[in-house]
Amino acid sequence: MNIVVLDGFALNPGDLDWTELESLGTVTIYDRTSDDEILSRIRKADIVLTNKTPLTSEILYQCPSLKMISVLATGYDIIDLMACNALGIVVCNVPDYGTKSVSQMTMALLLEVCNQVGYHAQQVKQGQWIHSKDWCFWDIPLIELDQKTMGIIGYGRIGQNTAKLAKAFGMNVLALGHKNFREDVTYVDMKTLCQQSDVIVLHCSLTAETYHLINEQTLSWMKPGSILINNARGDLVDETALANALNTNHIYAAALDVVSKEPMEKNNPLLKAKNCFITPHMSWASLEARQRILNTTIENIRGFLNSKPIHQVKMNQ
């Protein structure tokens, strides 16, 4: 089998071992692949592994040998599933690798807003504590999470795990929805969630329905002083509307691990927005989570080679 990895560096910058993958066929690993390099690199491939490198119908119809695509992630919106279905190409993903890591990052983002440990640690290193007239100092109001309300939009595996962490801090939890699929949370509609939540967390998928779910209207429903956390998908948020809400002090803060265009562009309005904390799409990237991606991808390929695909993505998913 001719196996091609199109963008292996993000998954494995050098701290994982490709050996088990290489035992499954002839493997070519590219750190990164630009759009104009995709076709030449996979034209003769039997199996392609991709994380964020898109595989369009125009590309796929020119790859007669291609039998399987395994996405090195959960999301598969970069794959033209309709073309794969027509061509008989099996598509697999990694559905549950980063639940704990993403939830942990959610709380890290929230705690940074509430305590700003990084900022105050830097102040100490710059000598502010040494020269302080008092035995302690803080430049920014500190926020206690106990008895605050977290509203979670997207109550799947990650949302449920984040709820557990929030409850450990004494928070109350709401979730967006109309049916009580689980009894451990109170389901409310979007407007109620915005109006009652001190912290809103996005853990939902990006679809036509959720594109710019956080917009001028939904931001207007949010409580003054509330906090928005997004480490799901950047396009869930209308970034101009969020920047305006921050700059006018309608909401207190936003902490984001994703933006609409990645890498981030220099004209993104959130770069200069007040009290906006941004990290570079790293929620998924713990060593443990990336190892799970690699392990599951190898399982996906083995299953395919044994005519028993696992984690297969279907058209109606």
Q: Are 7 and 53 within 8 A, CB to CB?
A: yes
Confidence bin at 316 (pLDDT 50/70/90): low
Q: Is 212 a catalytic residue?
A: no
CA 86 – CA 107 distance, rounded (Å)? 42
Q: Looking at per-residue confidence, does 165 or 180 come out higher?
A: 165
Residue-wise pLDDT for 15-45, tens only, equals 999 999 999 999 999 999 999 999 999 999 9
| pLDDT above 70 coverage of the chain, percent | 98
Q: Are 229 and 202 within 8 A, CB to CB?
A: yes
Return the structure tokens found at 244. 């305006």
Residue 131's SS3 state is: coil
* Res 308 pLDDT > 70: yes
Q: Is 41 a catalytic residue?
A: no
Task: State residue 128's pLDDT score.
Answer: 95
Return the structure tokens found at 179. 């049916």
Task: State residue 4's pLDDT score.
Answer: 98
Q: Are 216 and 242 within 8 A, CB to CB?
A: no
Dihedral over Cα of 56, 282, 204, 309: its sign: positive
The H-or-E segment that residue 292 falls in is helix 287-305
Q: State the CB neighbour count (10 A cutoff) for residue 307.
A: 6
Task: State residue 180's pLDDT score.
Answer: 59
The whole-number average pLDDT for the span 153-160 is 94
Q: What is the DSSP string of 208-253?
A: TTTTT-BSHHHHHHSPTT-EEEE-S-GGGB-HHHHHHHHHTTSSSE
CA 62 – CA 50 distance, rounded (Å)? 17
The active-site residue, picked from 281, 290, 292, 311, is: 281
* Res 181 pLDDT > 70: no
* Res 317 pLDDT > 60: no
Task: State residue 177's pLDDT score.
Answer: 77
Q: Is 233 a catalytic residue?
A: yes
The active-site residue, picked from 22, 262, 265, 288, is: 262
Confidence bin at 183 (pLDDT 50/70/90): confident
The whole-number average pLDDT for the span 270-275 is 98
DSSP state of 162: H
Residue-wise pLDDT for 86-120, tens only, equals 999 999 999 989 999 999 999 999 999 999 999 99
The whole-number average pLDDT for the span 292-303 is 98
pTM above 0.85, yes or no: yes
Which residues, including other chains, have CB under 8 Å from residue 160's CB and lie 6 or more apart? 182, 184, 185
Phi/psi of residue 230, nearest 5 degrees: -135, 105
Return the structure tokens found at 42. 């996979």
